[in-house]
Amino acid sequence: MMYMITGRKLSQLKLLLYLAGFLWIVHVIGYIMPLGGLGIIPRELAGLAGIIFAPFIHADFPHLIANSISLIILGFILASTEENGIVYILLVIMLLGGLGTWVIGRSGTVHIGASGVIYGILGYLIARGFFRKDFKSVIVSVIVLFMYGGMIFGVLPTVPHMSWESHLCGFLSGIITASSGKKRR
């Protein structure tokens, strides 16, 4: 039996590609007008706007390329296996992860990039099998853990100038979102 992509799943995949394209558009705009001030600035009132804007802002092309590839791959897995739509999942991950970064982030730093959302997708996909306990979700969780489990070390403060706080808060927000998904179903 061949796996078919339904209309809803196809629209979710298109949304994901549009989102990745939007990251590139914002990056080009950033060369015209600096956007770094729209990042998450921990525990500063002005930094709250970064919860919404930071995932779309990247420091340079290598940062953007790495996040675009990860977003497309993990996002594709999410979009092709999630029945209830990915917009809600991505928004909750973005808001919870961003707020967490705002609360625990190092003072004097600005956090930008989509990696918090990417880590949120990773956390969601790994935890979903545990909370749902259906065969498909467990298989997806095991495969994602096997393929991308090494990313989990990114939640540790091991690389200078990398927002491990955003990675950690994104990952935890993905787990929280997966746990609430069981209740939503």
Mean pLDDT of 21-27: 96
Q: Which CATH class is domain 7-184?
A: mainly alpha
Number of Cβ within 10 Å of residue 108's Cβ equals: 8
What local confidence, expressed as pLDDT, does residue 113 receive?
A: 97
pLDDT score for 5: 60
Banded model confidence at residue 28, pLDDT cuts 50, 70, 90 = very high
> Quick check: 22 pLDDT over 50?
yes
Burial class (CB in 10 A: 0-12, 13-18, 19+), 62: exposed
Closest CA to 102 of 163, 160, 13: 163
Domain edges within the chain: 7-184
**Rounded to the nearest 5°, which phi and psi values hold at 63?**
-60, -45
Residue 101 CA to residue 96 CA, distance in Å, equals 9
Beta-bridged to residue 40, according to DSSP, are 111
Please say whether the dihedral angle defined by the alpha carbons of residues 120, 68, 107 and 157, taken in this order, is positive or negative. Answer: positive
* pLDDT computed for residue 4 by the predictor: 55
Contact 61, 73 (CB under 8 A): no
Q: Give the pair of three-digit tokens for residue 12.
A: 């979710």
Contact between residue 58 and residue 112 where contact means Cβ atoms under 8 Å apart: yes
By C-alpha distance, which of 67, 153, 55 is closest to 97? 55
Higher pLDDT, 35 or 2: 35
pTM of the model: 0.93
Give the residue-averaged pLDDT of 164-173: 98
* Whether pLDDT at 184 is above 60: no
